[in-house]
Chain A
Amino acid sequence: MTEIIVVTSGKGGVGKTTTSASLATGLAQAGKKVAVIDFDVGLRNLDLIMGCERRVVYDFVNVIQGEATLKQALIKDKRNDKLFVLAASQTRDKDALTQEGVEKVLDELKKEGFDYVVCDSPAGIEKGAHLAMYFADHAMVVVNPEVSSVRDSDRILGLLASKTRHAEGGQATVKQHLLLTRYNPVRVEAGEMLSVKDVEDILGLPVVGVIPESENVLAASNAGEPVILDAQSMAGQAYADAVARVLGEERPLRFLEVPKKGLFKRMFGG
């Protein structure tokens, strides 16, 4: 059975692509066969975050329009041979994505025996975002502890409950996971930032993970290495926890408290 997970948020810049890259990588690390698809036609970026930008020959739209086979367009990850990237088209207009076309590609991935397909949604609620979520079994809604992001997430949660294949079919629902990113416990304690509980209360959903704000995320994207591979970093570990929870494991939330380590410990680890 292939599970389709959409990574979405409504608002831009909250960490969808970072999350898609780490989620897909983490699932592949767990031994699953994973494809991660960039739905942001015209603004391709997942390839950069995954570090395969120079190996893109064919893209999602090429496959939809029959100009390339899926096999030709899937880029095998250099670090994990169970992980494949399908890049967004850089040049075409957004109308190149069609519901039938997306369905065809997803069906083909199912036939190829993929365990998970991660759909990296563009920002907004237009066609690309709609198609990224339409066929999803799971949704990972990425939210920052910030007013506009929380409001947009609520809007996205509403769309997931009404404008997806499962919702329209009426038999199943899209399983919703809330991922809080860019979390800064110091600012939360100072009363400057919404807490995990605030966001959970407002949106009425428990979080599947909390990713602390971390300089390692920028370093990872600079290097084209999904941050989950930086196992020393708090962000990498928090992503690993979130992926484990998606796979059904129970893990306590970490990195929610203000670090109380002394200078010595911080410098020398522990």
Chain B
Amino acid sequence: MGILDFLRAKPKNTASIARERLRIIVAQERSTRGGPDYLPLLRSELLEVIRKYVNIDPEAVQVNLESDTGHDVLELSVALPDDEKKS
């Protein structure tokens, strides 16, 4: 058993998976923080509409509310897949 374990491929580096997942979720939650409560819902509804036409990743829609002096800017960014690969 010990020898077999030794020969087997190295286990996946789960810390790096955790790091990447956290990077994404923390960035996403920060972008909606302090903004109105409807942002997450807005984001998911937008995602549904876009998905009617293009099959995109849930992470591909970014909704940011930025406060400039005097006015707020709602910024939407949608990353489309590289044609065949992702869809």
**Chain A residues within 8 Å of B, Cβ to Cβ:** 146-147, 150-151, 154-155, 158, 162, 188, 191-195, 198, 201-203
Let me know if B9 is at the binding interface, CB within 8 A: no
CA distance A72 to B34 in the complex (A): 41
Q: Which A residues touch B29, using CB under 8 A?
A: 151, 154-155, 158
Q: How far is the CB of A186 from chain B (nearest CB, A)?
A: 12
Closest Cβ neighbor of A155 among chain B residues: B29
B15/A202 in contact, CB under 8 A: no
A158/B34 in contact, CB under 8 A: yes
B19/A194 in contact, CB under 8 A: yes
Contact count A vs B, C-beta below 8 Å = 43
Please report the total number of B residues contacting A with Cβ < 8 Å: 16
Q: Which A residues touch B23, using CB under 8 A?
A: 201-202
Task: Identify A150's interface contact among B13, B16, B22, B30, CB under 8 A.
Answer: B22
Q: Which B residues touch A195, using CB under 8 A?
A: 15
CA distance A149 to B22 in the complex (A): 10
Q: How far is the CB of A167 from chain B (nearest CB, A)?
A: 11
Main secondary structure of the interface of B (DSSP, over half): helix
11 residue pairs bridging A and B, Cβ less than 8 Å apart: A151-B25, A151-B29, A191-B11, A191-B13, A191-B16, A194-B15, A194-B22, A195-B15, A198-B15, A202-B22, A203-B26
CA distance A198 to B21 in the complex (A): 12
A202/B19 in contact, CB under 8 A: yes
Q: Which B residues touch A202, using CB under 8 A?
A: 19, 22-23, 26
- Name B6-38 residues within 8 Å CB distance of A: 11, 13-16, 18-19, 21-23, 25-26, 29-30, 33-34
A162/B34 in contact, CB under 8 A: yes
Task: Using A154-B30, A162-B34 as known contacts, say yes or no to A188 and B22 having CB atoms under 8 A apart.
Answer: no
CA distance A203 to B26 in the complex (A): 8
Q: Which B residues touch A146, using CB under 8 A?
A: 18
CA distance A87 to B11 in the complex (A): 47
B19/A198 in contact, CB under 8 A: yes
Q: How far is the CB of A258 from chain B (nearest CB, A)?
A: 15
- Name B27-83 residues within 8 Å CB distance of A: 29-30, 33-34
B15/A191 in contact, CB under 8 A: yes
Main secondary structure of the interface of A (DSSP, over half): helix
CA distance A198 to B13 in the complex (A): 13
Task: Identify B26's interface contact among A154, A162, A191, CB under 8 A.
Answer: A154
Q: Which A residues touch B33, using CB under 8 A?
A: 158
Q: Which A residues touch B22, using CB under 8 A?
A: 147, 150-151, 194, 202
Q: How far is the CB of A213 from chain B (nearest CB, A)?
A: 15
Q: How far is the CB of B28 from chain A (nearest CB, A)?
A: 11
Task: Using A154-B29, A202-B26 as known contacts, say yes or no to A194 and B18 having CB atoms under 8 A apart.
Answer: yes
CA distance A162 to B18 in the complex (A): 27
CA distance A194 to B13 in the complex (A): 10
What 6 A-B pairs have minimum CB-CB distances, sorted nearest first?
A: A191-B13, A158-B33, A198-B19, A202-B22, A154-B26, A191-B15
Q: Quick one: which of A150, A193, A201, A203 has the most chain B CB within 10 A?
A: A150
Closest Cβ neighbor of A146 among chain B residues: B18
CA distance A151 to B13 in the complex (A): 20
CA distance A188 to B16 in the complex (A): 10
Q: Which A residues touch B16, using CB under 8 A?
A: 191
